[in-house]
């Protein structure tokens, strides 16, 4: 008997989640139904939960889905190259395929379907409603982008395609990192550690990671994952350490992935080498950056690029790396949560649960 209903976590307002039983829709020739195996929890889940990101409620959160194709229309199977029983990683953004961004190859910033149209961003009122992965089953729109993933990898590791994809895009694809480059990563959270893994895989010469005193454990994991040096910015003079490590040159690439604090953005200008590249990917709640000395950008000819989201190319790099088994990814996985513990999962990632430190965590809706 195919499932008729699904349990799903529905967000009705800031900090308001409830578990509901929702009907599973019929799918047509061009769409599919996903049996969600795992959904990664990330910083934007916290922002969505607290209401910092403007969305239309009620909706089902969860934008990092990994799952098995439960049902699929013939045309979707043909277009996507997958079939019932295949395991897929699902990209968050659902592009329109026709707007200028899509046509010019920047589909990941497509706004052609009205605002940011993607999983966990579309309200329940938009048929068929199941647009989020905090659920046992999820709808897959005809414009969904999926990537096949080998089925013998544990779901809580395979679902890391999302942070790792971000690592590849932010620390490798955008700054064009390769052998000979010194890469400095500001912030040792899941995105920072993913950047370490990606920069290491790309053959970076030296990798340096900064963090706070309370990040000691994460900095130790950074070393296991390929960082050559770690700096505690509260205990050490970070500018001086970076200068020492790079023989006074500075880092070729600086990746800023710290959450909320604007200071590292201003500091990045001091850490980067002349002619170097800075990638800004950590959001700061739309605060300004004090002490941002723009003259440094001029005299050092620094390139600064923003990064929002991940592209197919970087998702593919991430999935191949996961499948290779070459990186001890389990060292950064800290928590599995059941569907009914979604709120606990978000609060744990946010650091709102004393004594619980999360790096990578996920929901496993089927247990
Ligand atoms: Zn995410
Ligand atoms: Zn578009």
Q: Which ligand is nearest to the CA of 61?
A: 1
Instruction: For residues 247 and 352, give the distance between their C-alpha atoms in angstroms, rounded to a whole number.
Output: 40
What integer pLDDT is reported at residue 285 of this predicted model?
83
Return the ligand number nearest the Cα of 112.
2
Q: Give residues with Cβ within 8 angstroms of 43, minimum separation 6.
A: 189, 191, 259, 283, 349
pLDDT value of position 54: 80
Is pLDDT above 90 for 297?
yes
Mean pLDDT of 157-186: 98
Ligand 1: centre distance to CA 232 (Å): 26
Between CA 365 and CA 15 the distance in angstroms is 20
Dist. CA 120 → ligand 1 center (Å) = 10
- From the CA of 92, the nearest ligand is 1
DSSP 3-state assignment of 256?
strand
Q: Which ligand lies nearest to the CA atom of residue 98 in the structure? A: 2
User: Ligand 1 centroid vs 22 CA: distance in angstroms?
Assistant: 24
Tell me the mean pLDDT in the region 297-319. Answer: 97
- Ligand lying nearest the CA atom of residue 99: 2
pLDDT digits (tens, 9 = 90+) for 237-296: 999 999 999 999 999 999 999 988 899 999 999 999 999 999 999 888 889 999 999 999
pLDDT of amino acid 356: 87
Read off the pLDDT band of 194 (50, 70, 90). very high
Residue 1 clears pLDDT 80, i.e. is over it: no
Which pLDDT tens digit goes with each residue over 79-115?
999 999 999 999 999 999 999 999 998 999 999 998 8
Considering every ligand atom, which ligand is closest to the CA of 362? 1
pLDDT of residue 2: 77
Give the model's pLDDT for residue 106: 92
Contact 336, 361 (CB under 8 A): yes
Residue 226: Cβ within 10 Å count: 17
Q: Is the pLDDT of residue 346 over 90?
A: yes
Residues with CB under 5 A from ligand 1 (ion): 42, 64
Q: Could you check whether the bond before residue 128 is cis, i.e. omega within 30 degrees of 0? A: yes
pTM of the model: 0.95
DSSP letter at 149 equals: -
242 alpha carbon to ligand 1 midpoint, in Å?
30
What local confidence, expressed as pLDDT, does residue 176 receive? 98
Tens of pLDDT, residue by residue over 17-56, are 999 999 999 999 999 999 999 999 998 899 999 998 888 9
Nearest ligand to the C-alpha atom of residue 133: 1
CA of 131 to the centre of ligand 2 (A): 18
- Cα(296) to ligand 1 centroid in Å equals 32
User: Ligand 1 centroid vs 278 CA: distance in angstroms?
Assistant: 22
Q: Is the pLDDT of residue 162 over 90?
A: yes
Token output for 79: 């277009």
Distance 43 CA to ligand 1 centre (A): 7
What is residue 115's predicted lDDT score, i.e. its pLDDT?
83
- Compute the distance between CA of residue 181 and CA of residue 255 in angstroms, rounded to an integer: 13
Q: Which class for 286: exposed (0-12), middle (13-18), buried (19 or more C-beta within 10 A)? A: exposed
Residue whose C-alpha is closest to residue 278's, from 295, 265, 259:
265
Q: How far is the CA of 162 from the centre of ligand 2 (A)?
A: 21
Read off φ and ψ for residue 308, nearest 5 degrees.
-135, 110
Compute, in angstroms, the gap from residue 105 CA to the centroid of ligand 2.
Answer: 9
- Describe the crossing of helices 161-168 and 312-324 by its angle, rounded to 10 degrees: 120
């Amino acid at each position: 008997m195919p499932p008729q209903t699904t349990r799903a976590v529905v967000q009705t307002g800031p900090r308001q989640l409830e578990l509901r039983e929702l009907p599973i829709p019929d799918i047509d020739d061009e769409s599919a139904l996903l049996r969600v195996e795992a959904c990664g929890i990330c910083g934007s889940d916290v922002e969505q939960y607290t209401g910092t990101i403007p969305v239309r409620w009620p909706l089902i959160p969860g934008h990092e889905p990994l799952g098995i194709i439960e049902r699929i229309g013939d045309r979707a199977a043909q277009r996507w190259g997958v079939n019932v029983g295949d395991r897929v990683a699902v990209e968050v953004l659902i592009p329109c395929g026709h707007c200028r961004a899509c046509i010019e190859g920047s589909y990941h910033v497509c706004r052609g379907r009205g605002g940011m149209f993607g999983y966990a961003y579309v309200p329940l009122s938009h048929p068929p409603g199941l647009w989020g992965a905090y659920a046992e089953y999820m709808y897959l729109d005809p414009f969904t982008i999926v990537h096949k993933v080998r089925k013998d990898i544990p779901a809580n590791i395979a679902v890391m395609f999302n942070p790792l994809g971000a690592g590849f895009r932010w620390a490798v694809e955008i700054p064009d990192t390769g052998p000979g480059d010194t890469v400095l990563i500001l912030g040792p959270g899941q995105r920072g550690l993913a950047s370490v893994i990606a920069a290491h895989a790309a053959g970076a010469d030296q990798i340096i990671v900064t963090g706070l005193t309370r990040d000691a454990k994460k900095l130790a994991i950074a070393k296991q994952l390929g960082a050559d040096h770690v700096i505690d910015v509260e205990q050490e003079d970070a500018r001086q350490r970076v200068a020492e490590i790079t023989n006074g040159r500075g880092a070729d690439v600086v990746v800023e992935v710290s959450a909320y604090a604007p200071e590292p953005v201003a500091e990045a200008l001091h850490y980067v080498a002349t002619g170097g590249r800075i990638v800004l990917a950590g959001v700061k709640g739309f605060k300004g950056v004090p002490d941002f000395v723009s003259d440094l950008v001029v005299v050092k000819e620094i390139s600064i690029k923003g990064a929002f989201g991940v592209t197919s190319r970087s998702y593919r790099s991430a999935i191949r790396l996961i499948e290779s088994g070459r990186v001890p990814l389990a060292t950064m996985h800290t928590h599995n949560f059941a569907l009914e513990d979604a709120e606990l999962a978000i609060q744990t990632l946010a650091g709102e649960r004393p004594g619980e430190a999360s790096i990578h965590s996920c929901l496993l809706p089927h247990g």
